[in-house]
Amino acid sequence: MAVVANHRPTKAIVSKGAIRHNIEEEMKRLPKDAQLWAVVKADAYGHGALEVAKVAKEAGATGYCVAYVDEGIALREAGFTEPILVLGVTEPMSTVVLAAKYHLSLAAPSVDWLERADLALKEVNESLTVHLAVDSGMGRIGFVYEEEMAEAKARMSEWTNIEVEGIFTHFATADELDESYFVTQQDRFQKALAILGEDYKYIHTCNTATALWHEAWHSNVVRFGVGIYGMNPSGSVLPLPYELQPAMRIESEIVYVKKQPKGRSVSYGATYTSQEEEYIATLPIGYADGWLRRYSGFSVLVDGQRAEIVGRVTMDQIMIRLPKYYPVGTKVTLIGKDGEEENTFTQAADYIGTINYELTSILGQRLERIYEED
């Protein structure tokens, strides 16, 4: 049972204004005939899918992308009527029927999948819209071989309960300096279009990175994901064409503070030992909230100053070394700005060797989300 910890001072604060800004800035760059669909899978990268979906719609998004049928159903049951595309592979029998009932569009990765899905739909007299997935080099799902593409094109009229409304691919290196593999994928997708045709309502290749650095190549739908949340998908490799505003900050408070003698250790494994008398404070957040053990040694912000996380991160608590005494109740910024200092998810990701949006996506459900207008 996931219980939100409302009665502790640790909060993830999400700015609706930042989300709105990021979407509106991207929409200014889109071709006139292009739409922006908000990618709200994984609970909107940890930001809260339903709240983000509302703001995205207000900002001009006309559809949504999710990973699984259940995420799409949650949007439908919350009252969203816009197009919803499920990007992952869906079980092509009973789950396809469920998707049809909720008017979700599905990714179609193969001829075999289309055959089985159409059979299941005929048995219950349901119809379904799909987008053909082309594997141009991502290696996850989709058509690879020209022979199967040709077979799919020849047999589309057989699948009478399926409407093919779209075709898409996903670029693996759109956020990198070296564009050679990106160009290879472009060439492969062009060849796929030559076989499967281009007479579809939606053609989309464009994730956030493609939108930012490749002018929404060959897309009348932009699948805008990490950009919504104000994070550079390249980390710090490529400069952004416009400002993305971080949509989330994480704040807590000191819940306990002590003067620790020289030679005393902190946390499991006694990996940190005080070299002198110092103030050690405890914060109520830990790896069960997604604040990973690897953050040991990373700094948080107290009164505009950096305070190092000392000892191992535990399940529910971390300890920090204060620059001077601060009382219980003092605000601590784990991610965000405090005075002249700032911690970003990109900095945190660089510290532990991962990407910024992995860190937001793994934040635990018990970490309370608070939504601000600005």
Contact call for residues 49 and 12 (beta carbons, < 8 A): no
DSSP state of 134: B
Type and span of the H or E element at 165: strand 162-168
Contact call for residues 40 and 53 (beta carbons, < 8 A): yes
Residue with tokens 């057989």: 158
Residue 284's φ and ψ, nearest 5 degrees, are -85, 75
With CA atoms as reference, report the closest residue to 114 among 74, 147, 162. 162
How is residue 334 written in tokens?
């784990």
Name the residues annotated as catalytic. Answer: 41, 268
d(CA 372, CA 158): 51
Contact call for residues 164 and 114 (beta carbons, < 8 A): no
Distances (CA, A) of 170 to 27, 213, 224, 371: 20, 14, 12, 31
Helix (H/G/I), strand (E/B), else coil: 206: strand
Residue 369 labeled ligand binder: no
How is residue 367 written in tokens?
């970490």
Residue 315 labeled ligand binder: yes
d(CA 209, CA 174): 5
- Residues annotated as binding site? 140, 315
- Residues annotated as binding site for substrate? 140, 315
